Structure 1
Amino acid sequence: MHYEAIVIGGNFAGLSAAMQLARARRSILLIDAGRPRNRFAEASHGFLGQDGVAPAAIMLEGKRQLSAYPTVSFAEGEAIAAEKTGGEFNVALADGRQFSADRLLLATGVRDTLPDIPGLAERWGRSALHCPYCHGYEVRDRALGVLGSHPFSIHAALLIPDWGPATYFSQGLVEPDQEQLAQLAARQVRVESSPIVEFLGTAPDLEAVRLQDGRVLPLSAIFVAPKVSMATPLAEQLGCEFDDAPLGPVIRLDERKETTVKGVYAAGDATNPMHNATLASASGVLAGVHCHQSLALGMAH
């Protein structure tokens, strides 16, 4: 089956991109594997009009709204291969189905790799959190921590006191210099150099952490910036180029949200080092609009 555009990824970015193309009356296929990055979170926060709503509910409603447009088709399944042949793109799913399109829009997201500390993974998205703007208000006024894992960890620790009493755990990886120590002290952030070796309590809740030196410190939530990688190999298969970001690669885009491969657009967490529901949705809107314009104006690809 051939479409004008295929959108791969049914989370906030992909749904927002598909909506623009649907409203432009283009024949599109939305492919979704059903494993969104935000599946571990109970609610989406800071997303205007959706604050406190479960991500799965937002996506379900988005798909319901998209299904009202007659030019939209859906395919549940994992896209495992994509290639450009001549003037069109071919996409293969794990179950053997194959589709083609004039344009391809990747909203495939990223995969998180957490530090290997016992008790962390089972708390991810609940009491181990990636973003204070997304989840800080819900853990306000409790004992909060920041796990040192990358150069911007100290910057994150300086922000956390606006939500609650904060401790920065350097893990022996990202030690603050004298200037940073003064900044942390001014913000009343406690600094712990002894690494966390275990998260304690009944998961997904967090009650305390055990340090390498044997001490146990009470803690209710910790902010962690995981390393990220592409959730699928599709961009690499297509020959898209990447840029390095602090936590992992991002797909290189121009101002039109087009990748370095003509006719391939991209949006969402795979394209932006800052990960947030609103930003993902906004990038999807822009990618969808520019993808449509390339179809309408017959831009070479």
Structure 2
Amino acid sequence: MYDVIVLGGSFAGLSATMYLARSRHRVLLVDAGQPRNRFTNASHGFLGQDGKAPATIREAGRAELARYDNVGFLDGTAVDATTEEDGFTVVMADGNGVRAKRLVLATGVTDILPEIDGLSERWGRSVLHCPFCHGYEYRDRPLGVLATGPASAHQGDMIPDWGPTTYFTQGQFEPTPEEQARFSQRGVTIERTPIAKLLGDEPDLEAVRLADGRELPLAALFTATRLTMASPIAEKLGCEMEGGPQGPILVVDDQKQTSVTGVFAAGDATMPMHSALLASSSGMIAGVCAYRSLVA
């Protein structure tokens, strides 16, 4: 039996594993190999890692963890987990089970993209969710905001700091009079005809074609996706969730403890605001607090 199993091998899971490794407890890192950031070729805003590919950062982190003789690795997908008297059993897709006294869920979220021709092929490259992560690379070029809900107006307020902005309502998400006033102050153009197709050599974006046939030049398109849990494990364990602005969020306390004793969680699934740095820091807290629960 391991002391802790960490589910998820991206920034949150790697950080949790590092602190558990240094506590000299036996820890197993389970990685399905499908991180949310696999679609992008660069991570930004992460001090010391700015501009590096997420895959490169993950590989370096895993190589660092491999130097600890108390860390094990299991590549595969966890499909179930149950609570036992002395801990937890995690069941893998191949039917094998692994056991631990504590769990750290760093399983992340999955983006549900708007269904527009040419959009999914550009996700993470020229169709983006965060201007702090990717906006600087598209500065001073024509940018768009694809509205997916009332909260999209917040992006409409932000994006003009990076370049001239068009706000696409898709004929569904009309800004309020107050939002329209702010857009006017910020120089945002409101386009009510829906985007029908994204144009250019993938994954780059050159323009969008509207439903009426017009084409508007764009270098990047920002949008807020809907989110769902990337793994069923939290739900199977009975962890409490709450509604977030884009989808469900795992409820954790200041110690990253979920509503199920002994199950900790970190990363994008636990917060409405997402970045590599936030994921890594929350993983560190979850790892330290999982350790503290073992020795308390």
Q: Distance in 2 between matches of 1:68 and 1:151?
A: 48
**Tell me, what secondary structure is at the counterpart of 1:53?**
coil
**Tell me, what secondary structure is at the counterpart of 1:60?**
helix
- Map of 2:261 onto structure 1: 262
One-letter amino acid matched to 1:290: C
- Map of 2:194 onto structure 1: 195
- Map of 2:131 onto structure 1: 132
- Map of 2:108 onto structure 1: 109
Q: Could you tell me how far 1:150 is from its partner in structure 2?
A: 2.1
Q: Deviations over 1:159-198 (max 9, x none)?
A: 1111111111111222112111110010001111111111
- Map of 2:208 onto structure 1: 209
Q: Distance in 1 between matches of 2:52 and 2:204?
A: 20
Q: Could you tell me how far 1:213 is from its partner in structure 2?
A: 2.2
Q: Distance in 2 between matches of 1:259 and 1:67?
A: 28
Q: Distance in 2 between matches of 1:277 and 1:152?
A: 22
Contact map agreement 2:206 2:217 (CA 8 A) in 1: yes
State whether structure 2 residue 38 is matched by structure 1 residue 39. Answer: yes
Q: Distance in 2 between matches of 1:67 and 1:255?
A: 29
**Tell me, what secondary structure is at the counterpart of 2:150?**
coil
User: Which region of structure 1 is more displaced relative to structure 2, 52-61 or 199-208?
Assistant: 199-208
Q: Distance in 2 between matches of 1:252 and 1:280?
A: 15
- Map of 2:27 onto structure 1: 28
**Tell me, what secondary structure is at the counterpart of 2:81?**
strand
Q: Could you tell me how far 1:214 is from its partner in structure 2?
A: 2.1
User: Which region of structure 1 is more displaced relative to structure 2, 164-173 or 45-54?
Assistant: 164-173
**Tell me, what secondary structure is at the counterpart of 2:61?**
helix
**Tell me, what secondary structure is at the counterpart of 2:284?**
helix
One-letter amino acid matched to 1:158: D
User: Which region of structure 1 is more displaced relative to structure 2, 213-222 or 104-113?
Assistant: 213-222
**Tell me, what secondary structure is at the counterpart of 2:100?**
strand
**Tell me, what secondary structure is at the counterpart of 1:22?**
helix
Contact map agreement 1:148 1:168 (CA 8 A) in 2: yes
Q: Deviations over 1:75-116 (max 9, x none)?
A: 011111111112210011112321000000000000110011
| Structure 1 length-normalised TM | 0.97
Q: How do 1:97-176 and structure 2 match up within 5 A? A: 97-176=96-175
Q: Deviations over 1:124-172 (max 9, x none)?
A: 0110011000000011111100110122211111111111111111112
Unaligned runs of 5+ in 1: none
Q: Distance in 1 between matches of 2:173 and 2:279?
A: 29
Q: Distance in 2 between matches of 1:223 and 1:249?
A: 21
Q: Deviations over 1:43-101 (max 9, x none)?
A: 10000000000000100000111111111000011111111112210011112321000
State whether structure 2 residue 241 is matched by structure 1 residue 245. Answer: no
| Structure 2 length-normalised TM | 0.98
State whether structure 2 residue 184 is matched by structure 1 residue 185. Answer: yes
Q: Distance in 1 between matches of 2:150 and 2:44?
A: 26
One-letter amino acid matched to 2:76: G
**Tell me, what secondary structure is at the counterpart of 2:286?**
helix
- Map of 1:82 onto structure 2: 81
- Map of 1:232 onto structure 2: 231
One-letter amino acid matched to 1:13: A
Contact map agreement 2:150 2:175 (CA 8 A) in 1: no
Q: Identity over aligned residues, as a percent? A: 57
- Map of 2:47 onto structure 1: 48
Q: Could you tell me how far 1:199 is from its partner in structure 2?
A: 0.7
**Tell me, what secondary structure is at the counterpart of 2:197?**
strand
- Map of 2:275 onto structure 1: 276
Q: Distance in 2 between matches of 1:239 and 1:151?
A: 30
One-letter amino acid matched to 1:62: G
Contact map agreement 1:29 1:73 (CA 8 A) in 2: yes
Q: Distance in 1 between matches of 2:147 and 2:269?
A: 23
Contact map agreement 1:150 1:247 (CA 8 A) in 2: no
